[in-house]
Amino acid sequence: MAKGQGKYKGLICAAIFIVLEIAALSMLSRTSSLQSHWLKRIAYRPLSVLWRGAESVRSYFSLKGQNERLAEENFALNEKLRAAAVAAQAPQSGLNARMNYIPATIVKMSRDSQHNYIILDKGSDDGVLPLSGIISDKGVVGIVDVVDRNYSYGLTLMNDAVQVSSRIGRDGIVAPLVWDGIHSDRAVVNCVPLHYEAAPSDTVYTSGFSSVFPSDIPLGTVVGTSVSHGAIGQVKVRLFQDFSTLRFVTIVSSGDRQVIEELSAHGEGAKK
């Protein structure tokens, strides 16, 4: 009981001291500008540490929002870039102009098997169609396989069932690009004629010879060549997109895909 009273008295004493000291310091601060500046300097030092700490915590918790805002901004900028590129290429091709782009966030993505997949937070309600391409600002990510109302399931480029029609350099040969099966940022361009010499550091682009991806999306750079089975040339590519750091993507689909597929099917039928 006495101990509790002592603590109570101590608290009152401390409170009186603090109140009187604040009163004295505020009088001091009002009377002399020199002392006022000195007191402010002393007071702001711990306050600045507190403010900095609070700002760090606030920044940390607002990172998610900032990331989403940046992703949206990035998407808008990419849209403008694509529009500008299409406008520049308008005389040669009108295909990219009819591409639809939908921003999406990765819900789940596997990276540790030979058949990796990706699940996105956009589905048929958002206009996503099966066999749409999945790209990022750094290249091709994969292809949408199955579409739900709110989600899409796709195969990533890190899946041996996925191949992308690619072109080595702006005017090089066109050949399928597939994942090398080992690294998260490596791929190989298969079926390259042996006489073709790819220069190291050449950029590999999408060819645009499919209705899935628009043309001229940079995929990666050539890092070397090899010969497979003694007859088929291979070009090793270091992808711009590292799959281990991926979070936001864009789903891309061609508005003319149905027409192209119908024409293709008609052409195949005529051959038979």
Applying CB under 8 A, does 43 fall inside the site for other proteins? no
# residues near other proteins by CB under 8 A: 21
Instruction: For 40-69, give one letter per residue: b (16+ CB within 10 A) or e.
Output: eeeeeeeeeeeeeeeeeeeeeeeeeeeeee
Applying CB under 8 A, does 24 fall inside the site for other proteins? yes
Applying CB under 8 A, does 191 fall inside the site for other proteins? no
Beta-strand relationship, 232-239 and 164-168 = unpaired
- Using CA atoms of 124, 102, 209, 114 in order, give the dihedral in degrees to the nearest 10: -70
DSSP code for 20: H
Applying CB under 8 A, does 27 fall inside the site for other proteins? yes
Report the phi/psi class of residue 213: left, alpha or beta, with left for phi > 0 and alpha for psi in -120 to 50: beta
> Which residue, 26 or 105, has its beta carbon nearer to other proteins?
26
Applying CB under 8 A, does 29 fall inside the site for other proteins? yes
Distance in angstroms (rounded) separating the CA atoms of residues 208 and 164 = 9
DSSP code for 198: P
Applying CB under 8 A, does 190 fall inside the site for other proteins? no
Q: How far is the CB of 7 from other proteins (least distance, A)?
A: 14
Piece of the chain touching other proteins by CB under 8 A; list 20-28, 153-161, 223-231, 263-271: 20-28
Applying CB under 8 A, does 7 fall inside the site for other proteins? no
User: 3-state SS of the chain: helix, strand, coil percent to 5?
Assistant: 40, 30, 30
Pick one of 8, 11, 38, 209: the residue that binds other proteins (CB under 8 A): 38
Pick one of 13, 50, 54, 57: the residue that binds other proteins (CB under 8 A): 13
> Which residue, 20 or 260, has its beta carbon nearer to other proteins?
20
Residues lying near other proteins in the complex (CB under 8 A) are found at 12-13, 16-17, 20-21, 23-32, 34-35, 37-38, 41
